[in-house]
Amino acid sequence: MSLKILEYFNYLEQKSPLHFVDPRGKTLFIIAITCLTIFLDHIIPMCIILVIMLPLIFLGRFTKRWLKSLLFLTPVILLVVILNALLLKVDYPTTKAIILGLRLIILSGFFGLFFQTVSPDDISQALIKFKFPYSFAWAISTAYRFIPTLAKETNIIIDAQKSRGLQIDRGNLFKRVRNMIPLLIPIFATAMRRSWQLAEAIESRGWNATKNRTYLYSLRLKWWDIIVILLSLGIFALFLYLVITNAPLPFWLAYNIPERFELKRLFLIAWTWIKNLFS
Amino acid sequence: MVETAVKIDNVSFKYRNSDSFALRRISFEVAEGEFILLAGFSGSGKSTLLKCLNGLIPHFHAGSFGGNVEIFGKSTLESETTQLAKQVGFVFQNPENQISNLTVEREIAFPLENFGVPKNEIISRVDELIALLNLEEIKYKSPYSISGGEQQLTAIASALALNPPILVLDEVTAHLSPRSAVRILNLLNELNTKHKKTIIIAEHRLDRCLHFANKLAFLEKGQLKVFDDVRTVFQNKEFPENMLPKIPSLFLKLDKEIGLLDEKANELPLTVEELVATLK
Amino acid sequence: MMIEFENVSFRYDPKTDYVLNDITFKINKAEFVAIVGKNGAGKTTLIKHFNGLLKPNEGIVRIDSLDITKEPISKMASIIGYSFQNPNHQLFAQNVKKELEFGPNNLKVEESTRDTTIQNLVDTFQINHLLERSPFELSGGERRLVSIASVLTMNQQVLVLDEPTYGQDYRQKKRLGSFLNKLTDEGITVVVVSHDMDFILDFIPRTIVLSGGKIVADGETSKVLSDQTLLQDADLISPLLLDLCKSLQQIDDSFTISINEQEVYENILALISKDRKISR
């Protein structure tokens, strides 16, 4: 169950406009926006970022999955907000707690969007562009290529051993661990065999034949990628400006929830009221 | 004068973790443009022998290697498997475990990329191969969403990418349905006759490809028992009777009973058509 | 034991099409049946219903009078032996002997009974020399044989084998075929999913053809496999002997079609002697 959340954060083969943005641009953007989101400490700027995020999520055709992932995250976010509102020892704890909650929503949204639109292949190609060794980049895209095979195979292995009378979910913990052995060994052995065969196959087709490998496809920046990169640099510059100058935000951006609405205060009022009721 | 494509000279091999030799003193030659069938029971050393042809043995698999393999006069000991890829294309048995790229197109481009071929040449070569093997429909598909036969065709296309004169295939139809198997075997025949590729293939379905072959090599327990013209091999006592393909076996039985070979035909029929023609 | 499918339908996901569509058939005790069909026709899905790995969305699967849709798989293992296609998906033990003991031990079979069964199997498959070896050292064909044997050790009354002849040579296929024949003589029901035409023709009397999740033919193997459209449905090709008979029939109308090797041989012999009389 806990792993199910990961399903909302993997790559989806689609043709959304965001899929066509260069992964390097997207990486830069997500770094810049993460820095800014973590640094900013006011409700209004957070809301602005959130409002900017919504059309992007729509553009990346992520809306449905995003809402579903939010549903998963809601209990966590609520818990974080309430605990912080009650326990933080700062001025305006409720404001801070809400900022924290917004930050979680924003970051999970942007990272979800990032992973949905950046394929493992994009990642390996970006690595090549950043002068990582080809074998490293190849390993990443190949691992991805074999995920469906591995999943299918694991299911077959479970079925095969069940058919030989293996009971996987019976007995005490020790026995259950022992019962995993007939599953784990074939899974491991087939994976080993596969990697040997794969190694033979790539070796036979000129693996590392020259130092100057060419690429049928390689990343090339388009005009919209330049815009994304400039925008990201702009966001980054803003972040640096705020860090270095430590400039206070204009008053209309620096809104705090007034003290009379603080969650902690409301809670204390309610608590004394209940106490009086029973005493 | 036809050039010698492959010369196997007194080759023996023992895998590092094994206590018996997988190959024992094997020698034979393959001329350019020939189609060689490699037959033998399972575990007889067919795969091991094929792996000697592109240097996977002894470069990739550790063990004790004796003798010499020459590809167009050059010993495999002198060049790495990687470099031999230009001379020998290799296709393996398991279609699933030899495709490493995310699409068919890129799988075919892979060897060309490895050798640093310029991009525009890669594009035209890939398109050429895709047209040759009729892979247009699956060009952009991912390797796990296509059938086993299509995967094997992709692997063949990729092995052909560098245009090697020799193509080595290790039981490539073993995982396929009869229909796709025959399709692949016919394709190999076309590559042999039309494109002059030298083909060396280990294959269980002798029935469906023996008429394409010039010569047949029969291995048993790592030894080369028979190596001869296909029609002659089947009359050799060393060739096991239970491995005889259907049509020659039927003919030989008839011949034994009523003596057809001298009376009606001077050579052994290999296909249905040939047998029918002889019986007429 | 008798196996009965009654209006069985199945799909993996309510959003997708049915993989099995209203399937009804009966396999009697001690029958030997082949199931053929294209990849994706639903063969594997069908046989997974035999031991309850999959449960039908609609319909009933019965073994004798037992409705197995309600039984747990662990119980089914003692009734039905199921051997999966790829031996690598189940071999795991330190040596072949332990591999063979794994099934009976799971079912808590008595040691003496277990050992006699295993010895019996080892003798028929002639794998005595493999007992102490690790299953991972064996050749592909040997592994397949051991994986089949490791299922047969449980003395079940029904056997389901998925592509049992993959990677096997003629000798091993013959041994396997006659062993399965012997089992049916002893009253065991055997169901085989296969693409191996020769194996089916030589050993299995009844064939069921599956296409698009439906049974399109069910009958005597020689009849089913002589039907061109059915063959196409099943991704099979017409057997060589059938082609031969058809060609001979064009020469002489009286020639009777058969796909049994011995019969064809005798028919040709008769044809030739008739011919000779006329020419004299």
Clarify whether residues A33 and A169 are in a common domain. no
Q: List the structure tokens of A84.
A: 């912080």
Which residues make beta-bridge pairs with C193?
C35, C162
Clarify whether residues B36 and B147 are in a common domain. yes
List the CATH number of the domain containing B36: 3.40.50.300
**Strand locations in C40-91, DSSP E?**
58-63, 66-67, 80-83
CA B236 to chain centre: 22
State how far the Cα of C33 lies from the Cα of C39, in Å rounded to an integer: 18
Q: What is the pLDDT of residues B48-78, one digit of tens each?
A: 999 999 999 999 998 999 999 999 999 999 9
Q: What is the pLDDT of residue C70?
A: 82
Q: Give me the DSSP letters along A128-185.
A: HHTT--HHHHHHHHHHHHTHHHHHHHHHHHHHHHHHTT--TT-S-HHHHHHHHHHHHH
pLDDT at B259 over 90: no
- Domain for residue A209, yes or no? no
Number of domains forming the structure of chain B: 2
> Does residue B113 belong to the interface with chain A, where contact is any CB pair within 8 Å?
yes
Query: C80 contacts in A (CB within 8 Å)?
Result: 163
Q: What is the pLDDT of residue C278?
A: 67
> Does residue A199 belong to the interface with chain B, where contact is any CB pair within 8 Å?
yes
Clarify whether residues A14 and A112 are in a common domain. yes
Q: List the structure tokens of B116.
A: 């640093």
The residue length of chain C stands at: 280
Does an H or E element contain A27, and which? Answer: helix A23-39
State how far the Cα of A97 lies from the Cα of A82, in Å rounded to an integer: 7
Q: Name the neighbours of B, counting chains with at least 3 Cβ pairs within 8 A.
A: A, C
Clarify whether residues C178 and C278 are in a common domain. no
Q: What is the CA radius of gyration of chain B?
A: 20
Query: A11 contacts in B (CB within 8 Å)?
Result: none
Clarify whether residues C71 and C12 are in a common domain. yes
Query: CA end-to-end span of chain C, whole Å?
Result: 58
Query: A192 contacts in B (CB within 8 Å)?
Result: none
- Residue-number span of the structural domain to which A63 is assigned: 2-118+220-278
- Domain for residue A208, yes or no? no
Do residues B154 and B104 lie in contact, with contact meaning Cβ atoms separated by under 8 Å?
yes
State how far the Cα of C226 lies from the Cα of C217, in Å rounded to an integer: 12
- Residue-number span of the structural domain to which C271 is assigned: 239-280
Tell if the CB–CB gap between B250 and C174 is shorter than 8 Å: no
> Does residue C210 belong to the interface with chain B, where contact is any CB pair within 8 Å?
no
Clarify whether residues B142 and B259 are in a common domain. no
Clarify whether residues A40 and A73 are in a common domain. yes
State how far the Cα of B118 lies from the Cα of A213, in Å rounded to an integer: 9
> Does residue C66 belong to the interface with chain B, where contact is any CB pair within 8 Å?
no
Q: What is the pLDDT of residues A239-269, one digit of tens each?
A: 999 888 887 788 788 888 888 888 888 888 9
State how far the Cα of B46 lies from the Cα of B168, in Å rounded to an integer: 12
> Does residue A186 belong to the interface with chain C, where contact is any CB pair within 8 Å?
yes
Q: What is the CA radius of gyration of chain A?
A: 26
Q: Which residue has the tokens 């079925």?
A: A159
Clarify whether residues A13 and A105 are in a common domain. yes
Tell if the CB–CB gap between B247 and C244 is shorter than 8 Å: yes
The closest CB to that of A200, out of B56, B110, B162, belongs to B56
Clarify whether residues B122 and B261 are in a common domain. no
Q: What is the pLDDT of residue B265?
A: 63
Clarify whether residues B205 and B274 are in a common domain. no
> Does residue C257 belong to the interface with chain B, where contact is any CB pair within 8 Å?
no
Q: What is the pLDDT of residue A3?
A: 52
Do residues B155 and B92 lie in contact, with contact meaning Cβ atoms separated by under 8 Å?
yes
What is the rounded average pLDDT of the residues C143-148? Answer: 88
pLDDT at C141 over 80: no
- Domain for residue A160, yes or no? yes
* Residue A205 distance to chain B (closest CA, Å): 5
Clarify whether residues A38 and A91 are in a common domain. yes
Clarify whether residues C164 and C201 are in a common domain. yes
Number of domains forming the structure of chain C: 2
> Does residue A150 belong to the interface with chain C, where contact is any CB pair within 8 Å?
no
State how far the Cα of C160 lies from the Cα of C82, in Å rounded to an integer: 5
Q: What is the pLDDT of residue A105?
A: 94
Burial A218-234 (b: 16+ CB within 10 A, else e): ebeeeeebeebbeebee
Clarify whether residues A84 and A142 are in a common domain. no
State how far the Cα of B216 lies from the Cα of B229, in Å rounded to an integer: 6
- Residue-number span of the structural domain to which B263 is assigned: 245-280
- Do β-strands B23-31 and B215-220 pair in parallel, antiparallel, or remain unpaired? unpaired
Taking the CA of residue B51 as centre, how many other CA atoms within 13 Å lie in the half-sphere pointing to its CB?
A: 25
Q: Which residue has the tokens 């000279």?
A: B9
Number of domains forming the structure of chain A: 2
Clarify whether residues A238 and A167 are in a common domain. no
Clarify whether residues A41 and A168 are in a common domain. no
pLDDT at B166 over 60: yes
List the CATH number of the domain containing C7: 3.40.50.300
Identify the band that residue A2 occupies on the pLDDT scale cut at 50, 70 and 90. very low
Q: What is the pLDDT of residues C171-225, one digit of tens each?
A: 888 888 988 998 899 899 999 999 888 899 889 999 999 998 999 999 999 889 8
pLDDT at B229 over 80: yes
Clarify whether residues A41 and A143 are in a common domain. no
Helix residue ranges per DSSP H, chain C:
43-47, 73-76, 96-106, 111-125, 140-152, 170-185, 197-203, 221-224, 228-233, 240-251, 261-279
Own/partner pairs for B108-112, CB < 8 Å, 24+ apart?
B108/B154, B108/B157, B108/B158, B108/B161, B109/A216, B109/B161, B110/A202, B110/A205, B110/B158, B110/B161, B111/A205, B111/A206, B111/B85, B111/B158, B111/B159, B111/B161, B111/B162, B112/A214, B112/A216, B112/B161, B112/B162
State how far the Cα of C202 lies from the Cα of C222, in Å rounded to an integer: 10
Tell if the CB–CB gap between C170 and B43 is shorter than 8 Å: no
CB atoms within 10 A of CB C37: 26
Tell if the CB–CB gap between A163 and C91 is shorter than 8 Å: no
- Domain for residue A156, yes or no? yes
Using the Cα atoms of residue A169, residue A171, residue A177 and residue A183 in order, give the sign of their dihedral.
negative
| Probe site for chain B from A141, A205, A211 (most B CB atoms < 10 A) | A205
Which residues lie below 8 Å from residue A139, measured CB to CB, with a gap of 6+?
A: none
Tell if the CB–CB gap between A189 and C106 is shorter than 8 Å: no
Clarify whether residues B148 and B113 are in a common domain. yes
Identify the band that residue A55 occupies on the pLDDT scale cut at 50, 70 and 90. very high
State how far the Cα of C227 lies from the Cα of C242, in Å rounded to an integer: 10
Q: Report the candidate in B158, B170, B156, B141 with the shortest Cα–Cα distance to residue B54.
A: B170
DSSP-derived letter for residue C42 is: S
Highest mean pLDDT among C20-34, C66-80, C126-140: C20-34
Clarify whether residues A162 and A33 are in a common domain. no
Question: Residues 17 to 76 of A: which have CB under 8 A from any C CB?
Answer: none
The closest CB to that of B42, out of C140, C251, C265, belongs to C140
Clarify whether residues A51 and A110 are in a common domain. yes
Query: A157 contacts in C (CB within 8 Å)?
Result: 89-90
- Do β-strands C66-67 and C58-63 pair in parallel, antiparallel, or remain unpaired? antiparallel
Do residues B145 and B123 lie in contact, with contact meaning Cβ atoms separated by under 8 Å?
no
- Domain for residue A125, yes or no? no
Identify the band that residue C111 occupies on the pLDDT scale cut at 50, 70 and 90. very high
Clarify whether residues B168 and B270 are in a common domain. no
Q: What is the pLDDT of residue A1?
A: 37
- Domain for residue A123, yes or no? no
Which residues lie below 8 Å from residue B58, measured CB to CB, with a gap of 6+?
A: B13, B52, B65, B77
pTM reported for the whole predicted model: 0.86
Clarify whether residues B54 and B190 are in a common domain. yes
CA torsion B98-B100-B104-B109 (nearest 10°) is: -100
Do residues B226 and B246 lie in contact, with contact meaning Cβ atoms separated by under 8 Å?
no
Highest mean pLDDT among A143-147, A215-219, B105-109, C176-180: B105-109
Do residues C38 and C66 lie in contact, with contact meaning Cβ atoms separated by under 8 Å?
no
- Domain for residue A212, yes or no? no
CB atoms within 10 A of CB B68: 15
State how far the Cα of B56 lies from the Cα of B82, in Å rounded to an integer: 9
Clarify whether residues A6 and A103 are in a common domain. yes
Q: Which of A142, A175, A203 is the C-terminal boundary of a domain? A: A203
- Domain for residue A250, yes or no? yes
Q: Report the candidate in B248, B253, B259, B172 with the shortest Cα–Cα distance to residue B216.
A: B248
pLDDT at B237 over 70: yes
Q: List the structure tokens of A16.
A: 């959304």
State how far the Cα of A9 lies from the Cα of A113, in Å rounded to an integer: 8
Q: What is the pLDDT of residue C185?
A: 92
3-state SS class at B88: strand
From residue A49, give the alpha-carbon distance in Å to each of A36, A91, A103, A271: 9, 24, 10, 36
